[in-house]
A = this chain, B = another copy of it.
């Protein structure tokens, strides 16, 4: 139905659907709101009287009056005694600036094989176990579990994690040393903020490594980020000493990306460094659950709880979609970290925390890890065998733990070109060059992630790589 306004403005099309699920008043209100927002009803424009509009639309006058009152309370309309209700001047001709279309995501498809790293087997995600744990929590938790809680995390989960980490990672921690957080990213973000509060001005990181991400995060907290080289024994502690930094981020269990395990003597040197400068070692214990040939190397934290902050996550062991992780920190950082977490988000989701605690306590977490470990071990063997078959002249290193390995290309091979050519053949490859920060001309190497790469794809992918190198 077309409504002629009393003023000089255009007609307005109002459609009232009497059989619809939405109430008559809500329909009228919504259409007037939209007309005002989009500028079809201009600011200052007088509206028909409620009597007139009610008659035109076949509605009760009270309904139209209610509708006008509502829009007036919301600021869309104005009225003065004795004058017509008008469209408010504020509301008009200011449509939100159109958002530019987001750039199409780099939807690269790799139908043959994708050696993307840093992601576990998504097909193994613990669907049933997680649904079970959440249901149990919802069924049995006391009402208080649905309230806010201490920002550092649910007591129950911190207890379970402290004992689990002691058993599996030789971590030395009480529940009070633990802060539950949203995965590795938040763990690092809270830690760098706490470092800044300690007066630490620079954070060293491993080169090659996650320098770009670390630099961005450190800068947000006002810290400089300093690369320190990694050799076959892990981080070069002498170079760290020379850097002058008083904090360092390391991946001792399985250096990212080289896969080197930090040796026992380097561990001791590193701790001596931290004690000398009253510095802090931040241990990213990201891959420790998956070690194949022998037992995992215990955490650095257990050796020196006074100067090591250990960070863990379930992103690799369960799924990144849970966004749960933890920080084990020396006492001197605890207050700053707890405050940081409170300011950041007032604590991680309580139900998820209780579900994770239950998953670990019930043995389902370990069972899931065993299953995943067996699968990754099989893929690792496939990778080794496929390399031996298709490219026996190439070295494969960094296989002690985790789910990626380094394939050393022949000297002079062009990392970039091979990645690009493989992409055209449906094989997703990722090079190591972008993870170097100082090396002018690093040797050509590929990081072959096999966490989410099926065995058949590994085989086919290696064949393609070998073919391209021919």
Residues of B close to A267: CB separation below 8 A: 74-75, 90
Q: How many copies does the complex hold?
A: 2
Per the bound structure, the CA–CA distance linking A353 and B220 in Å amounts to 27
Instruction: Name the residue of chain B whose CB is nearest to the CB of A100.
Output: B331
A283 to chain B, nearest CB (A): 12
A466 at the B interface (CB under 8 A): no
Contact segment of A55-63, A142-150, A388-396, A429-437: A142-150
Does the CB pair A97–B306 fall under 8 Å? yes
Contact A268:B90 (CB < 8 A) given known A74-B298, A303-B74, A345-B185: yes
Interface string of A307-337 (1 = CB under 8 A from B): 0000000010001111110000011101000
Does the CB pair A348–B319 fall under 8 Å? no
A4 at the B interface (CB under 8 A): no
Residues of B close to A216: CB separation below 8 A: 343
A411 at the B interface (CB under 8 A): no
Instruction: Name the residue of chain B whose CB is nearest to the CB of A70.
Output: B295
Instruction: Name the residue of chain B whose CB is nearest to the CB of A67.
Output: B295
Does the CB pair B143–A272 fall under 8 Å? no
Does the CB pair B148–A320 fall under 8 Å? yes
A18 at the B interface (CB under 8 A): no
Does the CB pair A138–B146 fall under 8 Å? no
Does the CB pair B304–A90 fall under 8 Å? yes
Does the CB pair B90–A302 fall under 8 Å? no
Instruction: Name the residue of chain B whose CB is nearest to the CB of A25.
Output: B295
A residues 132-152 in Cβ contact with B at 8 Å = 134-135, 138-139, 143-149
A212 at the B interface (CB under 8 A): no
Instruction: Kindly name the residue among A90, A322, A324 whose own CB sees the greatest number of chain B CB atoms within 10 A.
Output: A90
Instruction: Name the residue of chain B whose CB is nearest to the CB of A142.
Output: B122
Shortest 7 CB-CB distances between A and B: which pairs? A75-B267, A321-B350, A182-B345, A125-B146, A96-B305, A186-B345, A122-B143
20 A-B contact pairs sorted by A residue (CB < 8 Å):
A74-B264, A74-B298, A90-B303, A94-B306, A95-B305, A96-B305, A99-B177, A122-B144, A122-B147, A130-B134, A130-B351, A131-B135, A146-B319, A146-B321, A148-B320, A185-B342, A185-B346, A217-B343, A321-B349, A344-B345
Besides A131-B138, A323-B348, 20 other A-B contacts (C-beta < 8 A): A33-B170, A70-B294, A70-B297, A75-B265, A88-B264, A88-B268, A90-B267, A90-B271, A91-B303, A94-B304, A96-B306, A96-B331, A99-B334, A102-B176, A131-B139, A182-B182, A183-B345, A321-B351, A323-B347, A349-B352
